[in-house]
Amino acid sequence: MTEPGPGTAETTDQPAITGRAAPAAPAAARRTSLLVTLVLGGLTAVPPLSMDMYLPALPQVTAALHSPAATVQLTLTTCLAGMALGQMIVGPMSDKWGRRRPLLAGMVIYILATALCALATDAEVLIAFRLLQGLAGAAGIVIARAVVRDLYDGVAMARFFSTLMLISGVAPVVAPLIGGQILRITDWRGVFVVLTAVGVALTLLVWRTLKETLPPERRHPGGLGAALRTMRDLLADRVFSGYLLVGAFAFAALFAYISASPFVVQEIYGASPQTFSLLFGLNSVGLVTVGQINGKLLVGRVGLDKVLGTGLAVVALAAGALLAMSSGVFGHVGLVPVAAGLFVLMAAMGLVMPSTNTLALLRTPHAAGSASALLGTSTFLLGSVASPLVGIAGERTAVPMALVQLSCAVLALVSFLGLCRPWQRRGESTASTAGERTRL
């Protein structure tokens, strides 16, 4: 075993997945520094920053590049698609070559692609560079998750994911505000200049503070074929696939809210843009707050599967209430009850998302990069499917949003109960948690 560098932890080799839970890896022997925690949080914030900071500039881009709005919208779609595909590429690369080299390469390409976006002269060129930006930016989020798996196990990993949520959860809230302020002093190209500067700062911090967390003896040899076989073995693990689907469906319910809430809150219930911004920010604060309660108070005292099951049940109940309100079961309801339902749904995600990532990655200590890639790609793909469905019935009803959210919540619960089957692994989880408490 190699001596771990600063910010890393000792680990041991794990057997390949055979459909049963692999023995838990030893917990991190050392705590990461605050700066490393902030860097990992910053890496997970790159996708929302890249997407949401750009949103206020869309009308300017349409006018400046003399392109239809539908064409300019593709700059969002291609960036999202790039982030989904990029995780599938970078995750296995990090299992083969370690975390640092693919991460630094991805960040350098992200910087170049973002700078080229600022120089784009027509919409087609901007679309191409946004695709490249998404592909490269995926390195941050997928490798950050893999690094957490390298450093932590069990209870400690769940707590760390909750801490990352505190950092990365702020990004979708502040990104549009930052973008709007940038547009007060410059044009849309200035947004990409700022994103380029953010990329440079993060890359320098990664270079100086984030040591390699995957020692050579734990890396995977082989090329594309080996990477595909690893992913096939991961997906063949029923429990891992269950947690993957739980996370993907939960994210799709969340993405349905993100896509539809501007229209629902403002157009149907008559809220002003300022009121919508306030409610959106409040819901994000709810998600982050519950995530911190989960990490500080529940993890280590309540089983992760119980926390996840409770979160999924609350999401399903909130979505059911929203569907009942929007379909007229309670008669005409105003904005306040609907906003309350959305708040509860969003806040419950603070229980679901950290627990899902932790429980899935606990089974994959030998292939954290590939597992992280599958988790990330599945969430982006299902999120992109949920987005157009929320507007399928036009602009006069919130029923499609609530129906998509409820359907996704039910499918997440079915995946949890039908594939994860936590009651069959209760003894295993109890032993793992007890061992984790002893180590901590």
Length reported for the chain: 440
Q: Quote the CA–CA distance of 207 and 215 in Å, as a whole number.
A: 17
The per-residue pLDDT for range 361-392, each reduced to its tens digit, is 888 877 888 888 898 888 888 877 777 777 67
User: Could you tell me the pTM of the whole model?
Assistant: 0.74
Which residues are 299's β-sheet partners?
302
The per-residue pLDDT for range 212-227, each reduced to its tens digit, is 998 888 887 766 677 7
Write out residues in the chain with pLDDT < 70, as ranges.
Answer: 1-32, 169, 172-173, 222-224, 391, 393-395, 425-440
Predicted pLDDT of residue 274: 73
Question: What does the mean pLDDT of the chain come to?
Answer: 81
222 φψ region: left (φ > 0), alpha (ψ -120 to 50), beta (else):
left
The fold of the 36-211 domain, in CATH, is Growth Hormone; Chain: A; (1.20.1250)
Predicted pLDDT of residue 224: 64
Numbers of helices and strands, H then E, in the chain: 16, 0
Predicted pLDDT of residue 31: 54
The per-residue pLDDT for range 98-130, each reduced to its tens digit, is 999 999 999 999 999 999 999 999 999 999 999
- Name residues whose C-beta falls within 8 Å of residue 434's C-beta, 6 or more positions apart in sequence: none
Which residues are 302's β-sheet partners?
299
Predicted pLDDT of residue 422: 86
The fold of the 229-423 domain, in CATH, is Growth Hormone; Chain: A; (1.20.1250)
Residues of the chain within CATH 1.20.1250.20 domain(s) are: 36-211, 229-423
DSSP letters spanning 35-84: HHHHHHHHHHHHHHHHHHTTGGGHHHHHHHTT--HHHHHHHHHHHHHHHH
